[in-house]
C-alpha cells in the first residue's frame, strides 16, 4: 500500500464528519466540532504523506469509478490526479481547514451560537468538496465539486439566516457564482464535444489523451484529426472554450465583474470567511486555471484576457479597500485584489509565481481573517473599525500576529507576501518586455496596474491596522475588550509564524543574485527529467516549452540586464508598498484619526505632526486615492449590483405573470389549447404549403 | 345509370313523412284526457325526481345505463370475430382463435362479477323517489 | 360512390361543432357530449378511409374507439357526479379553488 | 436453457394486467372489508415481479435483435418488444412499486382501497403497454387504458373538493386531447392507409396529401403533449398534481409522463421520421418550439409558487420541456440515437427523483402539517432522514451532482450541442439555473428556518419512509451507476 491508495480518504474524511455533524451533532459534546477537527487532521496527515510520496518522484493519475463508458464516444468518470501542484494544494486546504475548525471552537462554541451541528456539517462538506475538487483528474469531476463548493458556501454564508443581511448575501453569492458556472458548464460540454473524436478521455487534465495535450498537438503539430471545432480554426475555437471556462473561474475567484458577491459574503461567520478566502472557494478558480494551464498557455488571447482581468481586478479592488469602514470588508476587497495578482501572474506566464502567491496568500489571509475574528470576539461582534482603536495593548498576541499578516499582505520584506508578490510582478515585467506584439503590451499594462495596486494595498492594510489597534480606544467596548482563549490564539500563533517565514520556500531572487539553491517551490513545480511526472505533462518544464514555442511566444526580456531588472523590480514594488504604509501612517497613526480626510484643515495639522511627509504623499492620499475609490465604489454598488438584482427580480416578475395563465377555469384552458393548436396549424400549414 | 342521390333523397323524404303523418293523424283522432301521469317525463319506466324543468334521476339509473353501454359496446367487438370464426379455426386452430376471445370474455366476466359484488346492479329505491311516487298516486 | 372528400367535410364539421361546444358550454354533461362529437368525427374519418383503401383496419379501430368512448363517458359521468356532490353544481367553471 | 414462447416477452405488461385482475377478484370475494395488507401486498408483489422481469429481460438481451436481425413482435406487428419497451416497463413498474409501498400508509384509513390499488395497477398496465405499441391503434387503446384509471384515481378522495376539481380538469382536458389525438390518427390513416408504424413509414413517400398529413401530425403532437404535460396541453397538470392524493401525483408526473414520451418516441422516430414528412410538416421544429416554451412556462411559474406541491407540479411541466429535447434535437444524422437516449435517461432518473419528491409531500400530508413553504419550516428538526432524502431529490432535480439528475441533464445538454441545437441547450441552462432557486427554497425551509412552535411529529410510517428512502438511495446510486442506464438507453434508441 502506498499513500495514493489512501488518497480518496483525504476527501472522504471531512465528508464523514459532515454526516456525523448533520445527524449526530446534537448529541456530541462540541456539536460536531471534534469530528471535524479529527477528520481534517486526518486529511492533513494523509496529505502530508501524499506530499512526501510525491517528493519521492511519484505521481498518480487513475480513474476510480466510471459512470459512463460511452458506446462510441467518451468516458465520464471519477478519478484522482496527484502531481506536485495537487499535493501542495491538498496540504494548504487541509491545513487551513484544520485551523478554521479549531478556531471555530472559540468563535462559535464559546460564544454560545445556536445551530452548531448545521455549521460543522457545512464546514465538513465544504472542505470535502474542495479537496475533491483539488484532486479531480478530469474537468467534469472538477465541475461537479466546483458546484458543491458553491452550494456549501451558500449554506454557510447564510448561516445567520434570521438577520436581514446573510440570506440575501448568500443568495447573491450563489447566483453570481452560478452565473459564471454556467459558462463553465458550457465550456465543459464544449471540451467534451470538441475532443471526443480525437481521444477516448477528453476530460482528463493530465497525460497523453488529455484535452490540453490533444489541443497542443492540434495547434503545434497541426494534428486536428477527429477534432470538432464547429468550423472555427482550432486556435479560435480553443480561445472560445478557454474563455467559457474562465467564466466559472471569474465567478468563483471573484474577478471583475463577477466579484460583487465576495464583499457581501462577509455576512457569514468569520471562520467561514477565512476558509472561503484563504483556501477553498475563491482559491478554486485560480487553481482551476493552474490545473489546466497547458490549455491556456496555447492561446495568447486568453492569456491576455487573464492578465488584464487580473491586473485590473487587483487595482480596482485595492482602491475600493481604501474607503471601507468595516474590518472584514477591507479584508474582502484585499482578497479580490490578491487573487487578481494570481490571475495576472497566470496570464503573463508566471505559473510558479501564481502558485507561490496562492500559497503565501492562503497563509496570511487566513491569519488576517482569524485575527479579525479574534478582534470581533473581543469587540462583542462590532465590526466597524471606527468603533475600535487602541486594542494593541489589550490583546498583544492578536496584534502581533495580525501585524505579521498585514506586513505580508502589504508586501514588506521579508514577510511572505513580499516574495510572492514581487515574483508575480517581476514575471509580468520580464515577459512584457520579452514578448513581441500586442501580448507583450498587454502584459506591461497589466503589470502597471498591478504595480499601482501595491501602493493601495500598503495604504489600506495599514489604515486597517492603525485604526483597529493604534491610537486611543474610541468606544467603551474597545476600552474593555472581551478576552479570547487558547483555541483562538493557537491558530493565530501558528499562522503568524508561517506568514513570516513561508516566503522562504521560494527565494528565487536570492538564487539569482547569489546562486544559492533556495528556490524550493520552483524545483517542486518544475517537473524535471526523471521524476516520473514527465508523462503527465503538467510540470512547469512543459508549460514553459508551450509558452515559448506555442502561438503565444512568451519570451523573457530584461531591459536593465538580469540583475538590474530584478533589483529594479523588487525595489519599485517595495518602495510603493512602503509609500502606501507611510501614507496610511501619516493619516491614521494619530490619537484621534479623522473619518474622511477631505477636510483640508486637518491635513495641515497632520503635516505638522509628520515632519517627514511631503505634500505629494498627502495629495496622493486625498486628491487622488479617495475620489478614485469612491467612484469605483459607486460603480460597484450601482451598476453591477443593479444588474444582478435586476435579473433576479425580472425573473420573479415574469414568473408571477406566467402563472396567471393558469386561470383555474377549465373552459379557458380548452380555449388556450384550441388557439395554440390553430396557431400551430396555420403557421405550419403556410410554411409547409398545405393550401 | 341513375344517380344514387335519387334513392337517398327518396329515403329521406319517406323517413320524414312517416312520423309526421302518424303524429298528425293521432292528434286528430285521439280524445283529450289530461292527467298527471301523462305529463310526467317518460324515462324507461323509471320515476323522475325533482321538478320537470330540471329533471333529476336516481343515480342508480346512471350506473345501470353505464354498465349497459360498456358491455353493449364490448359485444360489438365480438361480431367481427364470429364472422371469420369458422374459417379461422380451420386455418390456425383453436389456440389462436378461440382462446384469446375466451380470455377477453374472462376479463369481462371478472369486471361484471366485481360490479355485481360491489352492488352496482343492486336496485335500491331512493327515499325521495318513493315519496314522490306516493304523492303522485294520491 | 360518394367521394371521400364529402366524408371528410362532414367529419370536419362534426369536429368543429364538438370544439365549439367544448369552448362555449359550461354544463359538464354538454361538455362531455361535445367531446363525444369529436370522437365520432374521427370515427367517420376512419370508416370512410377504410372504405377508400379497401382495408378493414380503420373500421375495426373505429369499433375500438367507440368502446373507449363509452368507457370515457362512464368515467366522466362519475366525475361529474362527485363534482355535483362537492360543488352543488355541474357548471365546469365553478370549480376554481386551485389556480395560478 | 428452455426457450420461452414468444408471447412471454410481454411478461412485464401481462404481469401488471394480471395483478389488476387479481385485485379486482380479491375485492369481489370480499367487497365489504378492506384488507390493507393483502391489497398492498398483491399490488406490490405484482409490480416488483414486473420490474424484476423487465430487468431480467434487459440483461438477457430479449429486446435485442435476434440473429436474423428481427425484434420480437407480436399480433401481426402490432406490438413489439425491444429494449425501449422493456426500459419503460421497468420505469413504470418501479415507480408503481414505490407508489404502492407509500400508499400502504397513505391510504391506510381511507375508503375504496381495493379500487385504488386495482386502478393504479391498471393504469400502469396501460403505460407499460404503450411502450410496446407498434401501431397507432394499439397506441390509442393503451393511452386510454392509462388515462381512464388516472382520471378516477385523481378523484378517489370523493369528498375532497381539491381532488374532485383536479379530476374534473384533468378529465375534461384529457377528453378533449384524446379527441384531438384520435382525429389526428384518423387523418394520418387517411394519408397512408395504414395504422402500423412501419407501414405508415413505408407509405410516406412524396406525393402524400400534404394537408391531411400535416393536420394529422400536428394533432398527434397535441395528444402526445397532453400525456407528457407539455405546453399548450399542460393546463391540467398543475391542478391535477396539486389536487390528487400525493402518491397519485407522483405516479402521474413520473410514470404517466414517461409513457407519453415513449409514445412520442415511437410515433415520431419510427413512423414519421422521413424527409417526405418533414417537408410537409417540420415536427422537429414544432417540438423545438414546444420544448422551449414548456421549459420557460414550467420553471417561471414554479418560481413564484407558495405551495410546495404546486411548485413541484410546475417543475414537472418544466422537466417535460427538458425531455422534449430528446425529440427536438433530432436531425436525422448520426447523433439521433444519442439524443433520444438522453431523453430516455432523463425520464428514468426523473422517475425516481420526482416520485421521491412527491412521496415526501405525501409524507407531509400524512403528518398534516400544511402545504406552503412556511409550513415546511424546521421540518428537519423532526424528521432529518426524510428531509435529507428530499434534499437529495430536489438538488438532483435541479441538476446538482448529488444524484443521477446531474448526468441526465448533462447528457441532454451534450445532445443539444452534438446536434447543433444550441438554443435548446441555452434554454436548458437558463431554466436549470432558475429551478435551483425554487428548489433551494424548500431545502432552506426544511433545514435552516426555525420550526413553528408546536411542530411535532409523532408517527413515522414505515411504508412511506421505505418508499422515500429507497427512491433517494436509487437517485444517489444512479450517479455512480449511470453507466448501465446510459448504455441501455442508447442501445434502445439506436434500435428504433
Average pLDDT value for residue range A432-438: 80
- Looking at residue B48, its pLDDT comes to 59
State in Å, rounded, how far the first CA of chain B is from the last one: 66
Contact B77 C67 (CB under 8 A): yes
Which position has the higher pLDDT, A313 or A390? A313
Output the pLDDT for position A251: 82
Q: Do chains B and A touch (3 or more CB pairs under 8 A)?
A: no
Out of C63, C73, C81, closest to residue B77 by CB: C63
CA distance A671 to chain C (A): 6
pLDDT of residue A395: 78
| Three-state DSSP state, A383 | coil
Least confident range of A170-174, A659-663, D70-74, D213-217: A170-174
pLDDT of residue A608: 40
**Cβ–Cβ gap D448/A661 under 8 Å:** no
Strand partners, D307: D372
pTM of the entire predicted model: 0.74
Would you state the pLDDT for residue B56? Answer: 60
Q: Compute the nearest-CA separation of B133 from chain D (Å).
A: 30
Taking the CA of residue B23 and the nearest CA in chain C, the distance in Å comes to: 29
Radius of gyration of chain C (CA): 17
Q: Chain A contacts of D449, Cβ < 8 Å?
A: 161
Cβ atoms within 10 Å, residue C73: 21
**Which of D151, D158, D242 is closest, CB to CB, to C98?**
D242
CB-based contact C96 A665, cutoff 8 Å: yes
Take residue B93 and report the three cell numbers written for it. 386452430
Q: A73 at the D interface (CB within 8 A)?
A: yes
Bridge partners for A76 per DSSP: A68
C77 pLDDT more than 80: yes
Spatial separation of the C-alpha atoms in residues A368 and A266, rounded to whole Å: 14
Half-sphere exposure of B72 (CA within 13 A, CB side): 10
- Of the candidates D350, D484, D322, the residue with the CA atom closest to the CA atom of residue D416: D322
Interface test with A, best of C16, C17, C18, C19 (most A CBs within 10 A): C19
Distant-in-sequence, close-in-space partners of C58: CB < 8 Å, separation ≥ 6: C46, C47, C49, C50, C51, D186, D189, D195
Cα–Cα dist D33/D103, whole Å: 17
- Cα–Cα dist A189/A139, whole Å: 10
C-alpha cell at D393: 431529490
Nearest C-alpha in B relative to D24: B114
Q: How many domains does chain B have?
A: 1
The count of CB pairs under 8 A between chains B and D is: 21
Alpha carbons A396 and A408: distance in angstroms, whole number:
18
Residue with more model confidence, A173 or A459: A459
Residues 36-65 of C with CB under 8 A from D: 38-39, 41-43, 45-46, 48-50, 52-53, 55, 57-58, 60-61, 64-65
Neighbours of D, requiring at least 3 CB pairs below 8 Å, are A, B, C
Average pLDDT over residues A519-543: 70
Look at the alpha carbons of A97, A100, A102, A108 in this order and tell me if their dihedral is positive or negative: negative
C95 at interface of A, judged by CB pairs closer than 8 A: yes
CB contact under 8 A, A660 and C100: yes
Name the residue with cell 484563504: A278
User: Rg (Cα) of chain A, in Å, rounded?
Assistant: 26
- Quote the minimal CA–CA distance from C75 to chain D in Å: 7
Copy the grid coordinates of residue B130. 318513493
Local mean pLDDT, 10-residue blocks, chain D (496 residues):
74 92 87 79 92 90 76 83 91 94 86 87 94 91 93 90 90 92 92 88 81 89 91 89 92 92 90 83 90 91 88 92 90 83 92 93 88 86 87 89 85 84 86 85 82 78 90 89 84 84
B14 occurs within a structural domain: no
Cell of B63: 350506473
pLDDT above 60 (res A1): no
Considering only alpha carbons, which residue of chain A is nearest residue C26? Answer: A667
Per DSSP, B138 falls in state -
Phi-psi sector, A662: left (phi>0), alpha (psi -120 to 50), beta: beta
Distance of alpha carbon C56 from alpha carbon A98, whole angstroms: 79
Report residue D185 CA to chain centroid gap.
Answer: 22
- Does domain C4-97 fall under CATH 1.10.150.120? My reply is no
SS (H, E, C) A61-82: EEEEEEEEECCCCCEEEEEEEE
Compare CB distances from D175 to C4, C35, C61 and report the shortest one's residue: C35
Does the pLDDT at position C38 exceed 90? yes
Give the residue-averaged pLDDT of A196-202.
Answer: 75
Confidence of residue A349 (pLDDT cuts 50, 70, 90): confident
Name the residue with higher pLDDT: A214 or D290.
Answer: D290
Min distance C20 CA to chain B CA atoms (Å): 24
Residue C26 in contact with partner chain A when CB distance is under 8 A: yes
C-B interface (Cβ pairs under 8 Å ≥ 3): yes
**pLDDT average, residue stretch A506-518:** 74
DSSP H or E run through A539: none
Q: Per-residue pLDDT averaged across A410-430, rounded?
A: 83
Share of chain A above pLDDT 70, in %: 87
Of D304, D400, D444, the CB nearest to A147: D400
In a domain? residue B110: yes
Task: Using an 8 Å CB-CB cutoff, list chain D residues near B113.
Answer: 25, 28
Q: Closest Cα partner for C15 from A674, A80, A413, A283?
A: A674
Q: Is the pLDDT of residue B3 over 90?
A: no
Reported as type and span, the H/E element at residue D79 is strand D79-81
> What tens digit of pLDDT does each residue of A56-78 get?
777 777 777 776 665 455 667 77
| pLDDT beyond 80 at A685 | yes
- A610 pLDDT higher than 70: no
Task: From chain B, pick out residues whose CB is under 8 angstroms from the CB of D24.
Answer: 110-111, 114
- DSSP for A588-618, written as a single string: HSSSS--SSTT-HHHHHHHHHH-TT--HHHH
Closest CA to D92 of D256, D230, D235, D204: D256
Identify the residue with better confidence: D407 or A511.
D407
Higher pLDDT, A515 or A625: A515
> Which residue, among A663, A667, A669, A671, would best test binding to C if mutated, counting the most C CBs under 10 Å from its CB?
A667
C-beta separation of A66 from A204 below 8 A: no
Q: What is the three-class DSSP state of D10?
A: helix
Q: Which of A457-466, B98-107, C58-67, D89-98 ranks highest by mean pLDDT?
A: D89-98
Cβ-based burial of A211 (10 A; exposed 0-12, middle 13-18, buried ≥19):
buried
Specify the pLDDT at position A597. 46
Nearest C-alpha neighbor of A10 from the set A145, A149, A135:
A135
CA distances, D295 to each of A437, B93, D320, D440 (Å): 47, 54, 7, 18
Compare CB distances from D31 to B107, B110, B117 and report the shortest one's residue: B117
Question: Is D495 exposed, middle or buried (CB count within 10 Å of its CB: 0-12, 13-18, 19+)?
Answer: middle
Question: Could you tell me which of A350, A540, A365 has the C-alpha nearest to residue A446?
Answer: A350
CA distances from D294 to A473, B80, C93, D230, D324 (A): 62, 44, 25, 6, 9
Residue B64's pLDDT is 77
Mutate to test the interface with C, among D157, D175, D196 (most CBs of C within 10 A): D175
Are D24 and B119 inside 8 Å of each other by CB? no
B77 touches chain C (CB under 8 A): yes
Place of cell 369481489: D28
Which residues of chain B does D31 touch, with a Cβ-Cβ cutoff of 8 Å? Answer: 117-119
Q: Which of A532-546, A673-687, B23-37, B91-105 has the lowest mean pLDDT?
A: A532-546
**Count of CB atoms within 10 A of residue A406's CB?**
27
Model confidence at A598, pLDDT cuts 50, 70, 90, reads very low
The tens digit of pLDDT for each residue in B83-123 reads: 888 888 888 877 778 888 888 888 888 888 888 887 776 76
Tell me the C-alpha to C-alpha distance, in Å, between residue D193 and each of A13, C7, D214, D264, D280. 66, 16, 15, 20, 18
Q: Are B47 and B53 in contact (CB under 8 A)?
A: no
Given D175, D193, D310, which is nearest C53 (Cβ)? D193
- How far is C-alpha B56 from the chain's CA centre? 18
Q: What is the pLDDT of residue B129?
A: 54
Q: Does residue B86 sit at the D interface (CB-CB below 8 Å)?
A: no
* Domain interval for residue B104: 57-120
- Which A residues in the span 646-675 are in contact with C, Cβ-Cβ below 8 Å? 659-660, 662-667, 670-671, 674
The answer to whether residue B4 sits within a structural domain is no
Instruction: Tell me the chain A residues in contact with residue D480 when contact means C-beta distances shorter than 8 Å.
Output: 65, 67
Q: Quick one: what percent of chain A has pLDDT higher than 90? A: 0
- Chain C hits for B66, Cβ within 8 Å: 73-74, 77
pLDDT at A626: 61
Q: Which residues in chain D are contacts of A676 at CB distance < 8 A?
A: 231-232
Among C97, A282, A640, A533, smallest CA distance to D239 is for C97
Q: Is residue A102's pLDDT more than 60?
A: yes
pLDDT band at A609 (very low <50, low <70, confident <90, very high): very low
The pLDDT mean for chain C works out to 87
**Chain A nearest CA to D406, separation (Å):** 9
B16 touches chain C (CB under 8 A): no
Chain C residues with beta carbon closer than 8 angstroms to that of B76: 63, 66-67
Q: Which of D449, D444, D441, D451 has the alpha carbon at shortest distance from D382?
A: D451
Q: Tell me the torsion sign for CA atoms A137, A178, A293, A96.
A: negative
pLDDT score of A231: 73
Query: How far apart are the C-alpha atoms of D61 and D52, rounded to whole Å?
Result: 14
Highest mean pLDDT among A337-346, A445-454, B33-42, D256-265: D256-265
CA of D317 to nearest chain C CA: how many angstroms apart?
Answer: 14
CB C3 within 8 A of CB C37: no
List phi, psi (to 5°) of D307. Answer: -100, 125
- Nearest CB neighbour to A684, from listed D177, D235, D281: D281
Domain boundaries, chain C: 4-97
The pLDDT score that the predictor gives to residue A510 is 75
The mean pLDDT value of chain B amounts to 76
Amino acid at each position: 500500500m502506498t499513500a495514493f491508495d489512501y488518497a480518496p480518504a483525504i476527501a472522504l474524511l471531512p465528508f464523514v464528519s459532515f454526516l456525523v455533524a448533520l445527524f449526530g451533532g446534537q448529541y456530541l459534546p462540541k456539536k460536531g466540532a471534534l469530528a471535524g477537527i479529527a477528520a481534517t487532521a486526518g486529511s492533513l496527515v494523509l496529505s502530508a504523506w501524499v506530499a512526501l510520496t510525491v517528493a519521492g518522484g511519484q505521481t498518480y493519475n487513475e480513474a476510480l469509478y466510471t459512470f459512463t463508458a460511452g458506446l462510441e464516444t467518451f468516458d465520464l468518470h471519477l478519478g484522482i490526479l496527484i502531481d506536485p501542484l495537487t499535493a501542495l494544494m491538498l496540504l494548504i486546504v487541509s491545513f487551513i481547514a484544520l485551523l478554521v475548525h479549531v478556531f471555530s471552537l472559540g468563535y462559535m462554541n464559546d460564544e454560545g451560537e445556536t445551530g452548531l451541528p448545521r455549521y460543522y456539517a457545512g464546514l465538513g462538506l465544504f472542505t470535502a468538496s474542495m479537496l475533491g475538487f483539488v484532486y479531480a483528474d478530469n474537468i467534469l469531476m472538477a465541475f461537479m465539486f466546483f458546484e458543491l463548493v458553491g452550494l456549501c458556501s451558500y449554506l454557510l454564508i447564510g448561516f445567520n439566516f434570521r438577520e436581514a443581511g446573510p440570506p440575501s448575501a448568500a443568495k447573491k453569492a450563489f447566483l453570481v457564482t452560478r452565473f459564471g458556472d454556467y459558462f463553465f458548464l458550457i465550456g465543459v460540454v464544449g471540451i467534451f464535444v470538441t475532443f471526443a473524436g480525437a481521444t477516448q478521455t477528453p476530460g482528463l487534465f493530465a497525460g497523453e489523451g488529455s484535452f490540453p495535450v490533444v489541443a497542443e498537438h492540434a495547434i503545434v503539430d497541426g494534428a486536428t484529426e477527429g477534432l470538432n471545432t464547429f468550423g472555427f480554426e482550432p486556435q479560435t475555437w480553443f480561445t472560445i472554450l478557454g474563455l467559457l471556462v474562465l467564466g466559472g473561474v471569474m465567478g468563483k475567484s471573484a474577478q471583475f465583474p463577477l466579484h460583487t458577491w465576495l464583499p457581501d459574503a462577509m455576512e457569514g461567520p468569520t471562520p467561514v470567511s477565512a476558509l472561503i478566502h484563504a483556501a477553498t472557494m475563491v482559491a478554486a478558480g485560480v487553481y482551476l486555471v493552474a490545473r489546466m494551464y497547458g490549455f491556456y498557455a496555447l492561446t495568447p488571447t486568453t492569456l491576455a484576457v487573464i492578465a488584464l482581468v487580473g491586473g485590473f481586478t487587483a487595482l480596482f479592488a485595492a482602491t475600493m479597500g481604501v474607503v471601507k469602514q468595516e474590518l472584514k470588508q477591507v479584508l474582502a476587497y484585499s482578497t479580490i485584489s490578491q487573487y487578481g495578482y494570481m490571475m495576472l501572474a497566470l496570464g503573463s506566464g508566471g505559473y510558479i509565481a501564481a502558485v507561490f502567491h496562492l500559497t503565501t496568500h492562503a497563509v496570511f489571509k487566513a491569519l488576517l481573517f482569524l485575527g479579525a475574528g479574534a478582534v470581533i470576539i473581543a469587540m462583542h461582534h462590532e465590526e466597524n473599525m471606527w468603533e475600535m482603536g487602541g486594542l494593541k495593548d489589550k490583546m498583544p498576541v492578536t496584534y502581533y500576529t495580525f501585524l505579521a499578516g498585514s506586513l505580508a499582505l502589504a508586501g514588506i520584506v521579508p514577510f511572505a507576501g513580499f516574495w510572492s508578490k514581487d515574483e508575480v510582478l517581476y514575471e509580468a515585467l520580464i515577459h512584457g518586455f520579452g514578448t513581441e506584439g500586442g501580448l507583450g503590451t498587454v502584459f506591461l499594462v497589466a503589470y502597471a496596474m498591478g504595480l499601482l495596486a501595491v501602493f493601495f494595498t500598503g495604504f489600506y492594510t495599514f489604515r486597517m491596522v492603525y485604526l483597529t489597534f493604534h491610537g486611543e480606544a474610541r468606544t467603551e467596548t474597545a476600552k474593555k475588550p472581551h478576552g479570547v482563549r487558547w483555541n483562538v490564539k493557537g491558530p493565530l500563533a501558528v499562522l503568524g509564524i508561517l506568514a513570516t517565514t513561508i516566503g522562504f520556500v521560494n527565494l528565487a531572487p536570492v538564487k539569482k543574485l547569489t546562486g544559492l539553491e533556495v528556490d524550493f517551490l520552483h524545483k517542486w513545480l518544475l517537473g524535471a527529467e526523471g521524476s516520473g511526472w514527465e508523462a503527465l505533462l503538467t510540470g512547469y518544464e512543459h508549460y514553459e516549452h508551450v509558452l515559448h514555442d506555442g502561438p503565444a511566444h512568451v519570451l523573457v526580456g530584461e531591459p536593465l540586464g538580469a540583475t538590474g531588472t530584478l533589483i529594479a523590480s523588487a525595489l519599485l514594488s517595495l518602495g510603493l508598498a512602503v509609500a502606501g504604509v507611510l501614507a496610511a501612517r501619516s493619516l491614521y497613526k494619530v490619537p484621534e484619526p479623522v473619518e474622511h480626510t477631505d477636510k483640508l484643515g486637518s491635513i495641515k495639522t497632520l503635516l505638522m505632526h509628520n515632519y517627514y511627509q511631503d505634500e505629494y504623499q498627502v495629495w496622493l492620499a486625498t486628491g487622488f486615492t479617495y475620489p478614485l475609490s469612491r467612484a469605483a465604489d459607486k460603480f460597484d454598488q450601482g451598476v453591477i449590483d443593479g444588474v444582478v438584482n435586476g435579473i433576479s427580480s425580472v425573473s420573479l416578475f415574469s414568473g408571477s405573470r406566467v402563472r396567471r395563465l393558469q386561470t383555474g377555469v377549465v373552459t379557458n384552458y380548452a380555449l388556450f389549447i384550441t388557439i395554440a393548436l390553430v396557431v400551430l396549424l396555420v403557421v405550419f400549414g403556410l410554411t409547409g404549403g398545405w393550401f | 345509370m341513375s344517380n344514387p342521390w335519387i334513392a337517398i333523397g327518396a329515403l329521406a323524404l319517406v323517413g320524414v313523412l312517416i312520423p309526421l303523418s302518424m303524429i298528425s293523424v293521432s292528434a286528430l283522432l285521439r280524445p283529450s284526457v289530461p292527467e298527471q301521469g301523462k305529463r310526467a317525463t317518460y324515462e324507461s319506466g323509471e320515476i323522475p325526481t325533482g321538478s320537470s324543468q330540471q329533471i333529476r334521476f336516481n343515480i342508480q339509473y346512471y350506473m345501470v345505463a353505464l354498465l349497459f353501454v360498456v358491455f353493449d359496446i364490448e359485444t360489438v367487438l365480438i361480431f367481427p370475430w364470429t364472422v371469420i370464426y369458422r374459417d379461422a379455426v380451420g386455418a390456425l386452430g383453436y389456440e389462436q382463435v378461440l382462446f384469446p376471445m375466451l380470455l377477453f370474455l374472462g376479463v369481462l366476466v371478472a369486471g361484471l362479477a366485481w360490479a355485481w359484488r360491489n352492488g352496482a346492479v343492486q336496485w335500491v329505491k331512493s327515499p325521495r323517489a318513493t315519496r314522490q311516487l306516493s304523492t303522485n298516486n294520491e | 360512390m360518394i367521394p371521400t372528400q364529402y366524408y371528410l367535410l362532414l367529419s370536419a364539421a362534426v369536429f368543429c361543432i364538438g370544439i365549439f361546444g367544448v369552448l362555449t358550454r359550461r354544463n359538464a354533461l354538454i361538455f362531455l357530449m361535445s367531446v363525444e362529437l369529436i370522437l365520432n368525427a374521427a370515427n367517420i374519418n376512419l370508416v370512410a378511409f377504410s372504405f377508400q383503401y379497401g382495408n378493414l383496419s380503420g373500421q375495426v379501430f373505429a369499433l375500438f374507439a367507440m368502446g373507449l368512448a363509452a368507457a370515457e363517458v362512464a368515467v366522466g359521468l362519475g366525475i361529474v357526479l362527485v363534482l355535483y356532490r362537492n360543488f352543488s353544481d355541474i357548471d365546469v367553471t365553478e370549480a376554481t379553488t386551485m389556480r395560478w | 436453457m428452455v426457450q420461452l414462447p414468444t408471447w412471454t416477452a410481454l411478461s412485464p405488461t401481462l404481469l401488471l394486467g394480471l395483478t389488476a385482475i387479481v385485485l379486482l377478484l380479491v375485492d369481489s370475494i370480499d367487497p365489504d372489508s378492506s384488507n390493507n395488507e393483502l391489497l398492498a401486498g398483491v399490488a406490490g408483489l405484482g409490480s416488483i415481479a414486473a420490474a424484476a422481469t423487465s430487468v431480467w429481460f434487459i440483461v438477457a438481451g430479449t429486446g435485442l435483435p435476434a440473429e436474423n436481425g428481427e425484434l420480437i413482435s407480436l399480433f401481426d406487428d402490432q406490438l413489439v418488444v425491444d429494449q425501449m419497451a422493456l426500459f419503460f416497463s421497468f420505469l413504470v413498474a418501479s415507480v408503481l412499486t414505490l407508489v404502492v409501498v407509500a400508499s400502504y400508509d397513505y391510504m391506510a384509513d381511507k375508503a375504496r382501497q381495493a379500487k385504488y390499488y386495482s386502478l393504479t395497477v391498471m393504469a400502469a398496465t396501460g403505460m407499460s403497454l404503450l411502450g410496446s405499441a407498434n401501431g397507432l391503434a394499439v397506441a390509442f387503446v393503451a393511452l386510454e387504458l392509462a388515462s381512464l384509471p388516472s382520471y378516477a384515481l385523481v378523484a378517489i378522495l370523493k369528498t375532497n373538493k381539491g381532488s374532485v376539481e383536479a379530476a374534473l380538469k384533468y378529465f375534461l382536458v384529457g377528453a378533449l386531447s384524446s379527441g384531438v389525438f384520435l382525429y389526428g390518427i384518423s387523418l394520418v390513416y387517411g394519408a397512408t392507409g395504414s395504422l402500423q408504424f412501419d407501414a405508415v413509414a413505408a407509405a410516406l413517400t412524396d406525393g402524400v396529401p400534404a394537408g391531411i398529413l400535416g393536420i394529422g401530425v400536428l394533432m398527434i403532437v397535441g395528444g402526445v403533449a397532453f400525456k407528457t404535460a407539455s405546453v399548450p396541453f399542460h393546463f391540467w397538470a398543475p391542478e391535477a398534481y396539486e389536487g390528487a392524493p400525493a402518491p397519485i401525483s407522483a405516479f402521474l408526473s413520473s410514470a404517466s409522463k414517461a409513457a407519453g414520451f415513449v409514445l412520442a418516441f415511437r410515433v415520431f422516430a419510427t413512423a414519421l421520421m422521413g424527409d417526405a414528412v418533414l417537408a410537409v410538416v417540420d415536427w422537429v421544429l414544432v417540438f423545438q418550439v414546444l420544448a422551449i416554451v414548456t421549459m420557460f412556462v414550467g420553471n417561471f411559474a414554479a418560481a413564484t409558487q407558495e405551495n410546495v406541491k404546486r411548485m413541484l407540479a410546475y417543475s414537472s411541466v418544466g422537466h417535460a420541456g427538458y425531455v422534449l429535447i430528446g425529440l427536438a434535437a433530432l436531425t436525422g444524422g448520426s447523433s439521433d440515437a444519442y439524443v433520444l437516449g438522453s431523453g430516455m435517461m432523463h425520464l428514468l432518473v426523473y422517475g425516481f427523483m420526482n416520485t421521491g419528491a412527491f412521496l415526501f409531500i405525501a409524507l407531509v400530508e400524512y403528518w398534516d402539517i400544511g402545504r406552503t413553504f412556511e409550513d415546511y419550516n424546521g421540518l428537519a428538526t423532526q424528521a432529518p432522514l426524510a428531509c435529507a432524502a428530499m434534499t437529495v431529490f430536489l438538488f438532483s432535480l435541479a441538476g446538482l451532482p448529488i444524484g443521477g439528475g446531474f448526468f441526465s441533464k448533462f447528457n441532454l445538454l451534450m445532445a443539444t450541442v452534438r446536434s447543433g441545437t444550441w438554443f435548446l441547450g441555452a434554454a436548458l441552462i437558463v431554466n436549470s439555473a432558475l429551478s435551483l432557486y425554487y428548489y433551494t427554497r424548500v431545502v432552506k425551509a426544511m433545514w435552516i428556518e426555525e420550526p413553528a412552535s408546536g411542530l411535532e411529529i409523532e408517527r413515522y410510517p414505515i411504508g412511506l419512509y421505505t418508499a422515500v428512502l429507497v427512491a433517494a438511495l436509487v437517485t444517489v446510486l444512479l450517479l455512480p451507476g449511470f453507466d448501465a442506464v446510459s448504455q441501455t438507453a442508447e442501445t434502445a434508441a439506436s434500435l428504433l
